[in-house]
Structure 1
Amino acid sequence: MENVNQREVTEEEMIDQEFQELLNSYLATKHRKRVEIITKAFNFANQAHKGIKRRSGEPYIMHPLAVAKIVCNEIGLGSTSICAALLHDVVEDTDYTIEDIENIFGPKIAQIVDGLTKISGGIFGDRASEQAENFKKLLLTMSNDVRVILIKIADRLHNMRTLGSMLPNKQYKIAGETLYIYAPLANRLGLYKVKTELENLSFKYEHPEEYREIEEKLNATSAVREKVFQDFTAPIIAQLNKMGLKYHILARVKSIYSIWNKMQTKHVPFEEIYDLLAVRIIFEPRKLDEELNDCFDIYVTISKIYKPHPDRLRDWVSHPKANGYQALHVTLMGNNGQWIEVQIRSERMNDVAEQGFAAHWKYKDGGGGEDEGELEKWLRTIKEILDDPQPDAMDFLDTIKLNLFASEIFVFTPKGELKTMPQNSTALDFAFSLHTDIGCHCIGAQVNHKLVPLSHKLQSGDQVEILTSKSQRVQPQWLTFATTARARSKVAAILRKDRKTYQKEGEEILNEFLKAEEIQPEATVIGKLCKLHNIKNEEEFLIAIGNKSIVLGESDKNELKEKPGANWKKYLTFSFGGGNKEKTEEKEPQEKEKIDTKEILILTEESIRNNYLMAECCHPIPGDDVLGYIDENERVIIHKRQCPVAAKLKSSYGNRIIATEWDTHKSLSFLVYIYINGIDRMGLLNEITQVISRRLGVNIRKLNLETNDGIFEGKFQLYVHDVEDVKAICNNLLKIPGVKSVTRVEE
């Protein structure tokens, strides 16, 4: 009995200590000191969650406390948000209602807690349609109060930090969802540090070995980086001191996730990533209104010491990004012959870069006002998409995602007004951003006074004039031209409307045609005509008639005239075919075994041959980090964890994901693609094939090598047993003189 009491006392002490740390952090901020209401929220939440444990074994209240600390320290919000963070699980997990919260803490805190309750349990439900509904809820609550989503991101960050205590399949679901939605959301709201940590943690759980490898290599090269940093910054420090500025210089090392991402997209090994180190100069402006001038003065000073790269000056100072980010980025040639990026920011700009929109509030008069100008624009775009619900939830998510990930370009109207557009925007996107009517009737554009098609990609600094015509209609191929969420959703909605109109017209034309021929409009009749015109279903057939791409005529009449003996044949085919089908359908469910998604699936040679399918999109092989997905037909499909299709599945159908492990013994062969490049010379191809076929005994399915100006690159398709084989092939090929890089690629 004594032990139990002892443990309870220790837990209470631990909880009180955590709360005291939260209060100390809050008291150190510039916010008004409303300690009383925070203490009240803590006591209320502590009482409500009493006796409840998290999966890790610690008291449940430690989670809301940790989220409140993130909200206070890492996002920089005030007492209202801290209280809402402490109370965020009370309504969902206990008997208290939103009305109780409102009576005790007032309407503002209650409204935020209500927003958080509506989107709890992960954004995504079990089915895609629910997922889209929940996502809409999330965005609608965001538009009422942006603090809802900031606290939700803090909640997700703490869940990711404590993900180790979850089951593996839950880990993949949560990590996938984080990469797919939360990291881009954090980025769009300007929470750069949070975004980076969310990406890194997701990567750590999805690819533990690669994470560890990169981490070890970063540690091994840290001393060299430190020396480069010291040598590079010494003359800069001397000059900044002469300018009489208050400043500090930091070394910023590229995150593990972005290093891995670059290795994947550029097909280069760790050793060939040269922008691992960036330098950040953070200064206090000499006068508040001199902030911008100081940035450029520092730039001029340091570019006298080192040569700047002519194409790599990024001026986010004069034109902040849509998430509020401001800085001047310049790339300089260091004495070691490598380009080093220098980011120049004031203290205010640095706060905005790390805490995003939350930091803007800090710099408003009195620290209490809240201004989200750019965010408002973004939320308006989202509301427009929500006003036009789309049938396919995954499409809905993708459109949103396009806007989340996009970085910005700046374009001008003919009158010289500046407009911010996502990168890769086309003339068509620009037309829809001006007005839906302009978008619907646009026929082309003049960019910098030159005529261009609607698919033309815009560049920063372009001046764009849209040309319209009243007779123009929205075309199906416009969906491939549109990249912004607004344009895509508008085009899709108009096309859907047009399809319905055409379908109706097509139905009327077909009925009149059949009536004239005295034929009943039965399913078999329409089926025959679809087959004749090679169209897959009735709907598409009617649309084709309606938009005049099919004109019914003599060939249709001939097809519909009964052929002798057709009747009995048709009857027999139907009855025998139908009977067999019913029998097989009765039998099939008994063969399917129910798969428990909580257990880890072991992939053996036999199960791969008989039960499971390897995904075509990413071609996993033994040794890859993989997961299983149970599709609608109860088949298990094995995907690589980083495969983009798997990322969607994790986010949308998390409950169908199973953790999987390999247990194969080099008896099965799998197809892999290897990319190779280097400096060309005589006999090189022979050496490469010798290493693969003779020395390693690997079968080559296809080989494609080409050289250009002394450089060669190529792709192989090889049959291997597992990842170990791939490593052996890559390592052996790298030993051949002239070969610079060898990597496994998707295709």
Structure 2
Amino acid sequence: MNVPNTSITPEERLEILRSYRKLLRAAAGMLQSQDVRQIRKAIETTLDKNGVLRLPSGKPSVLHSLEVARITVEEVGLGKTSLICALLYETVRQSAVSIDDIRKQFGEQEANIMDGLVKVFDLYQTNASIQSENFRKLLLTFAQDVRVILIIVADRLHTMRMLQHYPREEQETISAEVSYLYAPMAHRLGLYSIKSEMEDLVMKFTNRDLYKFIAKKLNETKRARDKYIREFIEPIKEELKKQDLKFDIKGRTKTIHSIHNKMKKQKVEFEQVYDLFAIRVILDSELKNEKADCWKVYSVVADKYQPNPRRMRDWLSVPKSNGYESLHTTVLGPENKWVEVQIRTRRMDEVAEKGLAAHWKYKGVKGDRGLDIWLESIREVLENPELNAIDFIDDFKLNLYDEEVFVFTPKGDLIRLPKGATVLDFAFDIHSEVGKKCVGAKVNNKNVSIRHTLQNGDHVEILTASNQAPKQDWLNVVATSRAKTKLKQALREIQYKESEIGRETLIRRLKNWKLELNDQLTGLLVKHFKYKSVHDFFRDIAIERLDVVAIKEFILNQSRKDQERELAENAPAVRSAENFVTPPADSEENNDGDVLLIDKNLTNVDYKLARCCNPIFGDDIFGFVSVSGGIRIHRTSCPNAPDMRSKYSYRIVKAQWTGEAGGSYLAAIKVVGEDDIGIVSNISQIVSKELKLKMRAISVESHEGLFEGTVTVFVNNNQILSSLIKKVKGIRGVLSVSRIDGVSS
């Protein structure tokens, strides 16, 4: 392939050639010589026509396309059609090749997918972060051909891999979006390795210190961990060989993100996380023998090491809805350490690693309808035009559920629902009319209410009544997207009918009083009685929550005021000079002493430090425009930051500390250690005498020889807080010290 020297350096030219050759090797046997010639011509046309378009990372965009195309083949497992679309994405974006050209050269499928990819790009041009109505349009594009999702996931993965070359603000925006949307989506599509890498990279750019800390700890313990894995595996290997099973067995360390989650969930330090790694047994087994062979391996493992019955997961009998099949167990290994063991076949492993693409490859295997059902449910949500943007996002996220329960209909059919689903969810899953009329159910032959939460293996028979109607509080009962969507539609229909009845009632009563209802009067009434919408106003009249007599009194009072105003306007204006004072000129506040600089274009801004993360001078921060108009300052690692950046990026403003630290900031640390009578005194000594800090509060609780304390202090900056944490960690008997996000002032 001849890469023209248009605006590219010799090094970039070599990099493009290398990437192109790697792609051809990955796609060996997939592309015909004609395809290769057409792709090469299209790429060269792009470079010749427009020069090189560069990404924020500074790299030529064509290099990004080559890498994304390789990911779609090697890591996602897609075929020729998707490869061509991923590769030609940039050429179409730069108008070097049109969709019609793609249709003529490659075919209808490629043109349709490319059209979807271009629509997604257009959304990103409108707004860097996918949100509100753009989010709906994005999902509509995805729903047309699922390969659009898979190519965009590959695109986001490569962007995350190159994120260190992007500006800091873009790193945070892209990371928030990947965390909020694309990592859960990759998980839902069964792309577990991509999902894990995305989560790790998000943490690397949003919680850098903790990411580096865990990575360093993993590196320090690698040798001991590898030795333990070898010792654990050896006896299992020998026994499996005796059983004449063909297999691979390996150990893998849990991801940094999952270790961090365990530390948070279990409220422990790194050293106390017991299952840092998992053992995976992958069998070469024929389709008809897969289950039996997996259970043979389980038997061998359970004979060698004591299994924990609470940590048994059987996704062989009933696979996950994204096609995932595996047998998981946790056993007590040498040195009394818990070890997770995953047992699967080569086919199951390919489905687990490559998700949807491998799932299609093995079409016909039990469980292959799960993803089709999921995509159908997404389309169902998309087809509801009345759903507002925020509800839409919430409903979509419900479709990304992971844990599931399986229940049976009276006929013995298996129904799959998310964990936490209720009787009402089950009723709406059967049919929306059954859901609307549901009054309860018989679960395992016992009468239960609509709120009853279903468990694995329940037999459910829905009970209905003709006079039952949906109620607003049912929205708090249902857990599935389908039920929420159908329920909202039913409630809107009821409310619309009630609103029409209220309107007719008001028109009739006003006519009796010789008054007429028009749009202007309706607007005044809605505003006076403080209703959000006209529908709510008329509905309250229908259900007699608003008295029509009060409306009559308001109209008559308004008429009197109008008459008085007319009289006053016609009278001569008179103004007294007594006690008259010249109004003072507006004075500008001097912002030179401000410790915070908020955006470059804003002055005299009212800001407050957010309580959810309590930023301190020196922390990485950003501003968030609150509903009241002021600015809330948050740490970039605030637990709420990903949600704010994803849903409300238009309300994010830049913020940074300026000058020197001034004033004092409230901060809190959590201390865990061995219960000792002098521990509080030692902590107080460091706070008050060594560091000369003002302590606001200290509270300590003891339990079974351990204490857990919270120390709240005033500090000038985050360096002083770091110094405090370091010194408290040095106290004898202290096991861990960590900063607490939320501190009440």
Contact 1:628 1:637 in 2 (8 A): yes
In the alignment, what sits opposite 1:36? 34
CA–CA separation in structure 2 for the residues paired with 1:487 and 1:573 = 59
CA contact (8 A) 1:530 1:538 kept: no
| Letter of the 1:145 counterpart | D
Partner Cα separation in structure 2 for residue 742 and residue 427 of structure 1: 45
Tell me: CA distance 1:106–1:300, structure 2 relative to 1, closer, same or farther (3 Å): same
Question: 1:592–1:634: 8 Å Cα contact kept in structure 2?
Answer: no
| More displaced 10-residue stretch of structure 1: 46-55 or 321-330 | 46-55
For 2:195, the equivalent position in structure 1 comes to: 195
Higher mean Cα deviation, 188-197 or 487-496? 487-496
CA distance 1:657–1:192, change in 2 (3 Å): same
What is residue 359 of structure 1 aligned with on the other side? 358
| Counterpart residue number, 2:337 | 338
Deviates more, 1:624-633 or 1:417-426: 624-633
Match of 1:350 in 2: 349
Q: Does 1:470 align with 2:466?
A: yes
1:62 equivalenced with 2:58 (yes/no): no
User: What is the aligned partner in structure 1 of residue 256 from structure 2?
Assistant: 256
CA distance in 2 between partners of 1:198 and 1:623 (Å): 28
- How far off its partner does 1:179 sit? 0.9
Question: Structure 2 vs 1, CA of residues 60 and 551 (structure 1 numbering), >3 Å: closer, same or farther?
Answer: closer
* 1:423 is the counterpart of 2:424: no
1:343-422 pair list within 5 angstroms: 343-363=342-362, 373-422=369-418
The CA deviation string for residues 714-746 of structure 1, in whole angstroms up to 9 with x for no partner, is 655544444344444444555566655443344
Q: Can you list the C-alpha shifts for 1:108-167, whole angstroms capped at 9, x where unaligned?
A: 211111111111256684399x84444334333433322121111111111111222222
1:118 aligned to 2:119?
A: yes
1:83 paired with 2:84, answer: yes
Could you tell me which residue of structure 1 aligns to residue 616 of structure 2?
621
Q: CA deviation at 1:289?
A: 1.0
Alignment of 1:213-232 (within 5 A): 213-232=213-232
Match of 2:500 in 1: 504
Which segments of 5 or more consecutive residues in structure 2 lack a partner in the other structure?
Answer: 570-584
Deviates more, 1:36-45 or 1:288-297: 36-45
Aligned residues: 710
Letter in 2 for 1:403: N
The structure-2 alpha-carbon separation of the partners of 1:5 and 1:357, relative to structure 1 and needing over 3 Å to count, comes to closer
Matches within 5 A, 1:126-141: 126=127, 131-141=131-141
Match of 2:181 in 1: 181
Deviation of 1:308 (Å): 0.1
Specify the alignment match of 1:449 in structure 2: 445
- Show CA shifts across 1:220-260 (max 9, x none): 11112112212211211221222222222222211112222
Deviations 1:190-243 (A, max 9, x none): 111111111122221222222222211111111121122122112112212222
Q: Deviations over 1:553-608 (max 9, x none)?
A: 7x888899869x9999999999xxxxxxxxxxxx99x9999xxxxxxx8579xx99
SS at 2:344's partner residue? Answer: strand
**Cα distance in 2, alignment partners of residues 329 and 283 from structure 1:** 14
Higher mean C-alpha deviation, range 384-393 or range 82-91: 384-393
Alpha-carbon distance change, 702 to 192 in structure 1, aligned in 2, over 3 angstroms = same
Matched AA of 1:667? G
Aligned to 1:583: none
1:743 pairs, out of 735, 738, 741, with 738
Q: Measure, in 1, the Cα distance between the counterparts of 2:590 and 2:91.
A: 41
- The CA distance in 2 between the partners of 1:539 and 1:592, in whole Å, is 48
**Are the structure 2 counterparts of residues 235 and 723 from structure 1 closer, same or farther at C-alpha, using a change threshold of 3 Å?**
farther
The answer to whether the 8 A contact 1:408-1:421 is kept is: yes
What is the CA deviation profile of residues 662-712 of structure 1, one whole-angstrom value per residue up to 9, with x for unaligned ones? 446443333345445556565766665565556555445556655566665
User: In structure 1, what is the Cα distance between the partners aligned to 2:618 and 2:169?
Assistant: 18
Find out whether 1:637 has 2:632 as its counterpart. yes
Change (3 A) 1:176 1:501: same
| 1:20-59 per-position Cα deviation (integer Å, ceiling 9, x unaligned) | 22111222xxx65535314422331232244214244443
Counterparts of 1:35 and 1:624 in 2: how far apart (Å)?
A: 56
CA distance in 1, matches of 2:668, 2:494: 44
State the alpha-carbon separation in 2 of the partners of residues 163 and 120 from structure 1: 18
Tell me the CA shift for residue 512 of structure 1. Answer: 5.0
Q: Does 1:647 align with 2:642?
A: yes
Kindly state the Cα deviation for residue 398 of structure 1 after the two structures are TM-superposed. Answer: 1.8
| Residue 612 (1) aligns with residue 607 (2) | yes
The amino acid that maps onto 2:43 is A
Cα distance between partner residues in 2 of 1:547 and 1:710: 61
Report the Cα offset of residue 71 of structure 1: 0.9
Q: What is the alpha-carbon distance in structure 1 between the residues aligned to residue 14 and residue 296 of structure 2?
A: 53
Q: Structure 2: how far apart are the matches of 1:414 and 1:703?
A: 58
| TM-score (ref. length: structure 2) | 0.84
> How far is the alpha carbon of 1:446 from its aligned partner?
2.9
Instruction: State the AA in 1 paired with 2:329.
Output: V
The question of whether the paired residues in 2 share the 8 Å contact of 1:188 and 1:323 is answered with yes
Asked whether the equivalents of residues 125 and 652 of structure 1 are also in contact (C-alpha less than 8 Å), the reply is no
Question: Kindly, what percent of the aligned residue pairs are identical?
Answer: 38
Question: Structure 1 residues 529 and 176, CA, compared in 2 at 3 Å: closer, same or farther?
Answer: closer
1:22-33 alignment, distance < 5 Å? 22-27=23-28, 32=30
Change (3 A) 1:571 1:162: farther
Distance change (3 Å), C-alpha of 1:636 and 1:320: same
Query: Counterpart of 2:185 in structure 1: which amino acid?
Result: L
Output the CA distance in 2 between the equivalents of 1:650 and 1:353.
30
Q: 1:170 corresponds to which residue?
A: 170
Unpaired stretches in structure 1, ≥5 consecutive residues: 575-586, 594-600
**Rounded Cα–Cα distance in structure 1 between residues aligned with 2:135 and 2:314:** 34
Alignment-mate amino acid for residue 24 of structure 2: L
Q: CA deviation at 1:537?
A: 7.6
Query: 2:573 matched to which residue of 1?
Result: none
- Rounded to whole Å, the distance in 1 between the matches of 2:473 and 2:306 is 46
CA distance in 1, matches of 2:389, 2:101: 35
Structure 1 residue matching 2:334: 3-state secondary structure? coil
Residue 404 of structure 1: SS of its match in structure 2?
coil
- Amino acid in the other structure paired with 2:422: T
Checking the alignment, whether the CA contact within 8 Å between 1:502 and 1:546 is kept in structure 2 is yes
- Quote the residue 2:157 is aligned against: 157
In the alignment, what sits opposite 2:539? 543
Give the 3-state SS of the residue equivalent to 1:251 in structure 2.
strand
Distance 1:188 1:124, change over 3 A: farther
Give, as a single letter, the amino acid of the residue that structure 2 aligns with 1:389: P
Aligned pair partner of 1:48 in 46, 49, 67: 46
The aligned amino acid for 1:274 is: Y
In the TM superposition, what are the counterparts of 1:658-737 in structure 2 within 5 Å? 658-663=653-658, 665-676=660-671, 692=687, 696-701=691-696, 706=701, 713=708, 715=710, 717-734=712-729
- State which drifts further: 521-530 or 714-723: 521-530
8 Å CA contact 1:38, 1:79 repeated in 2: no
Paired residue secondary structure (2:329) = strand
RMSD after superposition: 4.0
Give the SS at the match of 1:88. Answer: helix
Q: Secondary structure of the residue that 2:739 maps to in structure 1?
A: strand
Cα 1:217–1:658 change in 2 (3 A) is: farther
Q: Which residue of 2 aligns with 1:579?
A: none
Q: Does the CA contact (< 8 Å) of 2:326 and 2:342 recur in 1?
A: yes
1:376-429 deviation line (CA, Å, top 9, x unaligned): 101110111111124531221121112214322212223222111112222222
Correspondence for 1:597: none
Matched, 1:479 2:475: yes
